[in-house]
């Protein structure tokens, strides 16, 4: 703090007398430690114990561990707060736990701990609600700590390769597999793509642009599709697809398919 002038008093000779206050320096307060509540969900007791012990060695983490089960995680979250959930992907039978966590506890940021950059695992984990995919067998522990703080602040943790996977998935043309009561597919792969785009709300012109075809060709596709599934309008087709269809990723189909 700089020198501060005190009250001024005028003497008989009209000169100003200034009283100076001694210079004081104030040390800034220590930076607050960002404390993150972390829960580790893993079915391997040894791996869970090692990871929990390592994280507890940090002053910025409060760490708990639960079995890799929806029931166990639910019981914990009902009574305790968690900001970040570390989910062991190598022991996860499916991604249902991530989807459940996103719906039931949207304020918890899940991070999938993966052994490798498997494309389908990365894309599907992010679709299911993961805020990060961390390669714990290839990345130092210090980066895991950085990952936890990153998702805690509302950011997403993925590397450049994983980002390419996501961008590729976004650029793919989706398909909607329409089946009959016996589970047999009723449509060709190209027709399935047309149905999926119509179900997404695209006009004939939009579908044509997406597939690189003419609008007239799309109309012909729709007439064939109507005939195969027994519908007579786009609305009926969308309703049929919603009740009889199953989404699946698709590779780009050649224009003559």
Q: At what angle do helices 96-104 and 70-79 cross, to 10 degrees?
A: 20
| 43 & 164 share domain | yes
| 151 & 62 share domain | yes
Q: Provide the domain limits for residue 199.
A: 172-248
Q: How many C-alpha atoms does 176 have within 13 Å on its Cβ side? A: 18
| 123 & 144 share domain | yes
| 43 & 110 share domain | yes
- Pick the last residue of a domain from 169, 194, 219: 169
Phi and psi angles of residue 128, each rounded to the nearest 5 degrees, phi first: -75, -15
Average pLDDT for residues 208-212, to the nearest whole number?
Answer: 86
Contact 100, 128 (CB under 8 A): no
| 60 & 144 share domain | yes
Tokens at 216, concatenated: 């007239």
Tell me if 255 is assigned to some domain: no
* Listed residue (81, 83, 69, 147) closest to 114, CA to CA: 147
Q: How confident is the model at residue 224 (pLDDT cuts 50, 70, 90)?
A: very high
Specify the pLDDT at position 132: 95
| 82 & 107 share domain | yes
| 213 & 115 share domain | no
Token pair 């104030």 is found at 26
Tell me if 1 is assigned to some domain: no
| 59 & 163 share domain | yes
Widest pairwise Cα distance in the chain: 111
Is 70 exceeded by the pLDDT of residue 253? no
| 187 & 145 share domain | no
Number of domains in the chain: 2
Specify the pLDDT at position 43: 86
- Please provide the size of the chain in residues: 257
- Pick the last residue of a domain from 141, 169, 197: 169
> 3-state secondary structure string, the chain?
CCCEEEEEEECCCCCEEEEEECCCCCCCCCCCCCCEEEEEECCCHHHHHHHHHHHHCCCCEEEEEECCCHHHHHHHHHHCCCCEEEEEHHHCCCCHHHHHHHHHCCCCEEEEEECCCCHHHHHHHHHHCCCEEEECCCCCHHHHHHHHHHHHCCCCECCHHHHHHHHHHHHCCCEEEEECCCCCECCCHHHHHHHHHHHCCCCHHHHHHHHCCCHHHHHHHHHHHHHHHCCCCHHHHHHHHHHHEEEECCCCCCCCC
| 226 & 136 share domain | no
| 40 & 75 share domain | yes
Contact 151, 36 (CB under 8 A): no
Tokens at 26, concatenated: 């104030």
Distance from the Cα of residue 2 to its chain's centroid: 50
- Pick the last residue of a domain from 109, 138, 169: 169
Q: What is the CA radius of gyration of the chain?
A: 30
Whichever domain contains 225, its CATH number is: 1.10.10.10
Q: How confident is the model at residue 167 (pLDDT cuts 50, 70, 90)?
A: confident
Whichever domain contains 49, its CATH number is: 3.40.50.2300
Is 90 exceeded by the pLDDT of residue 49? yes
| 54 & 164 share domain | yes
Least trusted range by pLDDT, from 3-17, 127-141, 232-246: 3-17
Pairwise CA distance, residues 210 & 197, whole Å: 8
Residue 257 burial by Cβ neighbours in a 10 Å radius (0-12, 13-18, 19+): exposed
Is 60 exceeded by the pLDDT of residue 74? yes
């Amino acid at each position: 703090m700089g020198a501060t002038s005190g009250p001024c008093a005028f003497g008989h000779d009209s000169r100003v007398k200034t009283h100076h206050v001694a210079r004081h320096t104030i040390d800034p307060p220590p930076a607050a430690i960002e404390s993150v509540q972390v829960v580790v969900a893993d079915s391997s007791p040894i791996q869970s114990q090692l990871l929990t012990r390592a994280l507890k060695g940090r002053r910025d983490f409060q760490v708990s561990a639960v079995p890799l089960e929806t029931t166990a995680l639910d019981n914990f979250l009902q009574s305790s707060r968690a900001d970040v959930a570390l989910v062991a992907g190598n022991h996860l039978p499916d991604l249902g736990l991530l989807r459940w966590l996103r719906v039931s506890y949207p304020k918890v940021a899940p991070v999938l701990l993966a052994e490798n950059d498997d494309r389908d695992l990365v894309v599907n984990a992010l679709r299911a609600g993961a805020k990060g995919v961390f390669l714990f067998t290839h990345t130092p522990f210090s980066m895991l700590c950085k990952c936890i703080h990153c998702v805690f602040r509302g950011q997403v943790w993925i590397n450049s390769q994983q980002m390419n996977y996501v961008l590729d998935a976004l650029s793919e043309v989706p398909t909607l597999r329409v089946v009959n009561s016996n589970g047999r597919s009723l449509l060709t792969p190209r027709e399935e793509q047309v149905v999926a785009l119509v179900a997404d709300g695209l006009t004939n012109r939009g579908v044509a642009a997406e597939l690189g075809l003419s609008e007239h060709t799309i109309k012909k596709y729709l007439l064939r599709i109507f005939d195969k599934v027994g519908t007579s309008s786009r609305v009926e087709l969308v309703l049929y697809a919603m009740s009889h269809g199953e989404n699946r990723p698709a590779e780009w189909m050649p224009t003559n398919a």
